[in-house]
Amino acid sequence: MAEDLTSFRTQVQAWLSEHFPSSLKSNAAGIMEAAFSENGLSADAEQWRQSLADAGYGAPTWPKEYGGAGLSDSQAAVLSGEMANVGAFNPIPGLAGMGVTMVGPTVLEYGSEDQKLRHLPGIASGTVRWCLGLSEPNAGSDLASLTTKAQDDGDTWIVNGQKIWTSGADRSQWCGALVRTDASAKKRDGISFLMLKMDQPGVRTRPIKLIGGASPFCETFFDDARAEKDDLLGPLNNGWSVVKRLLQHERQSQTGAGAPSGSGSAALSIQDLAKKYVGTTESGELADADLRSRLTSHLMATKAHAMTGSRIREEARGKVEVSAAASILKNSATIVAQVRSELTIEMMGNQGLGWEGDDFTPEELATVRGWLSGKAISIYGGSFEVQKNIISKNILGLPETTQKG
């Protein structure tokens, strides 16, 4: 077993030295920025993407026949470790939008052989970008009350309705949408998961400006949009089970407390930042004792959150099931991230109130924008309130009551 990984590691190292252009070294941000600019990927980056796609390393754990490399989790860890060692970065998950992280795993689980062959290779090569159409203006936390409907006209599905918070919709080629296919059924029944092309006359997108500025989110309008009959994923009228799985993928990705808003790897720790803006007493304590107590509580909460993540990983080692404590981590991560933002703008004082311009450093401006956009963490992907309902009901076994999201 250890032997296998060693030889795989050697193989990966050789492959990297052959295919990874040194011009791209340690430049993940630059690659992605170019990808979404008008110019698109640089020639080197495009060549690197193609090399990854050819090797199946864009989505390395997917089966080879669908564009992956069929790697085990351990092998995938070796691959990503070796890539990190040489400063290489896999742009394909970013290029594919919701494809690699959300749509792909769901297609692998629920798709027909035909669907897998048609959709997965484009995702795994980073050439087809996907968005997800889930929420609607009147179906937020209460997703099951969605009204976008798809009617079977014999040859195709005809889709009408409006989605909101469709991240990256204005730059996607495909959309996975939750639609109502049986209006007479109860709320959670009668819903199906449909895949459709974005580049067609019946689809219109409008980017949403958020309180922190421009955002990847869109409103998406379907006006007699069409989807192929064989692009229904999973059983008809049983899309709810598909979406529950999707949301699990989403929540799992949100249980870390994330990096400090607006800080690169060279950023100061929050306590050093505090000392910089607030100053210290003669004995080296933060000059604002009130802030110092609250900052300490925050650092303790951050540490407690990190230690809980480690504990759960340790407990779950070898088990397949997602730990029940995942719901705790989502809210805990939310509090950690949002309190950090609030404390940071508080300590920056007037310098933490900038919107734009040279009177504020880029870090100060990024802190303010991050503080604003971070308010979403407790709203999307299972709101703070919904998570509490889940803990109360599913984990503590308290009887169901009226639920709010």
Contact between 168 and other proteins per CB under 8 A:
no
For residues 333 and 372, give the distance between their C-alpha atoms in angstroms, rounded to a whole number.
16
Smallest gap from Cβ 320 to other proteins, in A, equals 16
348-367: contacts with other proteins (CB under 8 A): 348-357, 359
Q: Does 84 bind other proteins (CB under 8 A)?
A: no
Q: Which of 293, 310, 361, 394 binds a second copy (CB under 8 A)?
A: 293
> Rule CB under 8 A: which of 115-134 touch a second copy?
none
β 218-228/203-207 pair status: antiparallel
β partners of residue 195: 176
Q: What is the DSSP string of 380-405?
A: SSS-HHHHHHHIIIIIT-PPP-----
Binding residue (CB under 8 A) for other proteins from 32, 34, 291, 366? 291
Residue 221 interacts with other proteins (CB under 8 A): yes or no: no
Nearer to a second copy, 316 or 339 (CB): 339
Q: Which of 286, 326, 333, 337 binds other proteins (CB under 8 A)?
A: 286
- Contacting other proteins within 126-165 (CB under 8 A): 135, 137-138, 140-142, 145, 164-165
List of residues 6+ apart from 297 with CB closer than 8 A = none
The one among 18, 199, 320, 399 contacting other proteins by CB under 8 A: 399
Q: Does 331 bind other proteins (CB under 8 A)?
A: yes
Q: How far apart are alpha carbons 221 and 223 in whole angstroms?
A: 6
Whether 264 contacts 29, CB under 8 Å: no
62 in Cβ contact with 108 (< 8 Å): yes
Helix 289-316, helix 270-278: angle, nearest 10: 170
C-alpha 42, offset from chain centre: 25
Nearer to other proteins, 115 or 263 (CB): 263
Catalytic residue among 82, 136, 219, 250: 250
* Least gap, CB of 301 to a second copy (angstroms): 16
Residue (184 or 283) nearer to a second copy, CB? 283
Residues contacting residue 392 through CB under 8 Å, at least 6 positions apart: 398
Tokens 């007479």 sit at which residue?
184
Nearer to a second copy, 188 or 292 (CB): 292
- 229 near other proteins (CB under 8 A): no
Please give the distance of CA 239 from its chain centroid, rounded to a whole number.
21
Q: How many Cβ atoms are within 10 Å of 136's Cβ, its own excluded?
A: 21
Find the shortest distance in angstroms from Cβ 343 to a second copy.
14
CB 271 within 8 A of CB 295: yes
Using CB under 8 A as the binding rule, the residues of this chain from 383 to 402 that contact a second copy are 401-402
Assess whether 250 carries a catalytic annotation. yes
Q: Please choose, out of 28-36, 121-129, 235-243, 287-295, the segment that lies near a second copy by the rule CB under 8 A.
A: 287-295
Residues catalogued as catalytic? 250
